[in-house]
Amino acid sequence: MNTSASDRIPLLAVVGPTAVGKTALAIALAQHLGGEIVSADSRQVYRGMDIGTAKPTPAERAAAPHHLIDVVNPDDEWSLAVYQDQASAAIADIAGRGKLPILAGGTGQYLAAVLQGWQLPRVAPDPALRAALEAEAAEQGTEALHARLTRVDPAAAASIMASNVRRVVRALEVYELTGRPISAQRAMQAPPYRARTVWLTLPAPALYERIDARVEAMMAAGLLEEVRGLVARGYGWELPAMSSLGYREFHPYLAGESALEACVQRLKYNTHAFARRQKSWFARLPNLEYLPADAPDLLEQALN
């Protein structure tokens, strides 16, 4: 059943590539508009992964309420469907208390699921099947597993890189358990929001400078020690959390296979590449407004 425009929940989204300044703008908007922030970051949900995910600091979280940060441990099950459910609940709760929900982050799938109203398949994980598919990828190569997905679900395969084994495995898992392609189970239904989406942009050279400066600041803040601590607590590199950007780059160093400087440089390059990929997700979002992140009157423009 469609929701009339007057009944839809007002929702402000602040999106953009990593390091562009989303957190600062979202907090300023929350303070001016009486809002609370719902994170749309797939890594900030993990407890103990603070520096490498550029998680809002305690001071920033005190400046404006944040939701969906520090939700699960790095080895807990987490999925897009779970995120969508929790984000929808947080948005409804914020609006129900007379506050403005502000969705802020750079994880394209999370943003699209909420803003486009994705109807996701609720298929419980099958550990044995997952293990078998992951073993197949290890033995035959990621391209072979991706080719298998292409045969049964070409639409899903076209949107998933072969190197993203976790998503390839999930798509195959859904197909094997339901007999239907995951792409055929992802319909869209107009979400119950009146959404306005602010897309922060910067020219690539300026963005890469910010990214590199952020990586250096992360190292100075103790990123390597954070990674060491996670490994020491038994979190394996095979976990989605540990194989994510900002953490996987240090595996070769901790394994004695690479110099630290090379790992830091790889993190910078990988983050540049990630920022380029993020654009394709943002371009699909509804009701987009482009704002230059380095504008001196950025807040004023966002408030208009």
197 plus 102 within the same structural domain: yes
When pLDDT is cut at 50, 70 and 90, the band that residue 1 belongs to is: very low
Shared-domain flag, residues 206 and 170: no
- The verdict on 20 and 157 lying in the same domain is no
Q: Taking residues 254-279, what's their average pLDDT? A: 97
Q: For residue 211, what pLDDT is reported?
A: 98
Judge if 198 and 220 occupy the same domain. Answer: yes
> Distance (Å, rounded) from C-alpha 8 to C-alpha 275?
32
Query: What value does the mean pLDDT take over residues 239-261?
Result: 97
Of the residues 164, 185, 206, which one is the last residue of a structural domain? 185
Q: What percent of the chain has pLDDT over 90?
A: 88
The answer on 59 and 20 residing in a single domain is yes
Q: What is the mean pLDDT of residues 291-295?
A: 97
Output the pLDDT for position 122: 82
Query: Do residue 33 and residue 173 come from a single domain?
Result: no
CATH of the domain at 277: 3.40.50.300
Specify the pLDDT at position 4.
Answer: 56
In the predicted model, what is the mean pLDDT of residues 31-39?
Answer: 98
CATH of the domain at 161: 1.10.20.140
| Structural domain containing residue 59 | 5-120+188-303
If asked whether residues 278 and 161 sit together in one domain, one would say no
Whether 113 shows a pLDDT value over 60: the answer reads: yes
Is 80 exceeded by the pLDDT of residue 205?
Answer: yes
The pLDDT value recorded for residue 254 is 98
Number of domains comprising the chain = 2
pLDDT single digits (tens) 173-188? 999 999 999 988 878 8
Domain boundary among 169, 185, 201: 185
Q: What is the mean pLDDT of the chain?
A: 95
Q: What is the pLDDT of residues 77-96, one digit of tens each?
A: 899 999 999 999 999 999 99
Q: Are 18 and 54 in contact (CB under 8 A)?
A: yes
Q: Are residues 243 and 192 in the same domain?
A: yes
Judgement on whether residues 14 and 132 belong to the same structural domain of the protein: no
More confident residue, 122 or 211: 211
Confidence check: pLDDT of 165 > 50: yes
Are 203 and 272 members of one domain?
A: yes
